[in-house]
Amino acid sequence: MFSFLYQSAKQALENIRYNGDFSFSPEYKYKQFTRVSLEGPKGLCLSESCNWRPSFPGPSRLLPRCKGMRVPRSLEVWKMGTVNYLDALKLQDKLISRRKTHKISDTVLSLQHPPTYTLGKRRTDHNLLVPESDLKTIGAELHYTQRGGDITFHGPHQAILYPIISLRDIGLGARNYVEKLELTMIELASLYGVKARAGGVGETGVWVGERKIGAIGVRISSGITSHGLAFNIDPDLNYFKHIVPCGIADKEVTSLRRETDLVLPTEEVIHEQLISCFARLFCFSDLIWKEDAPILPDNGEAE
């Protein structure tokens, strides 16, 4: 009885909106469903006998393996290109509702936004350094959200993932979930010889030294996740000068382009690498790629 009450209390405490922030890149034109096992360039093999290694620049090595996984788990990957932030928010809400009622399986949205600033639940007005009315002059929007964290920027040349997954089904709490999101970006950076780390006390996201390269901001409702992570490939860092990113003052923002000496592949490749790292760390054995994915209408069915 004591063990049951302890686990129930622990789950209740971890079913929270975690703090942080997040945001992706080039326009995509995708047209069809593609199902692939994690045995090649679009994923990472989960078999203990698999010798496949990422054929990407940087260290050639296997990412962490999933131990004891007996039942194959699939992940639907929606590659959506450039999506207005509010449209992406509405889509997440619809997918969350469908995931709660088991109408869809675990899903991750892969997309980018036009220049957009978003404020999370821990927002403070002084972290926006310019009047809101001035943002239009630099071609950016501002939106308030229910995710954790303070203020961040979303824009072109960032790799963004919004996972809509059931933490209860995979036995993860909020803290472990965020740690795996951090590891996802750390693993991606390592492919290019960049040594990244998780944030320390008072820090959120992923860092290279004292420079922030990746942001995390999530919401968890009834065990279903939304919002997610953003990894800076080569965004215009001038946009960050108008805010105190994540409410952390006196810290720089950096990008993969600035931190590596390697020639970067196309951003599409980097996005797929990020998805592969995510799938590996969360033990998804089968990826279903939904290309040119539509926005859901109000009835929740794909157009």
Residue 246 annotated as catalytic: yes
Q: Considering 50, 66, 246, 277, which one is annotated as catalytic?
A: 246
Does residue 209 contact residue 199 with C-beta atoms inside 8 Å? no
Please, which residues have CB within 8 angstroms of residue 18's CB and are 6 or more apart in sequence? Answer: 148, 174, 175, 177, 178, 216, 217, 218, 219, 220
Give the active site residues.
Answer: 246
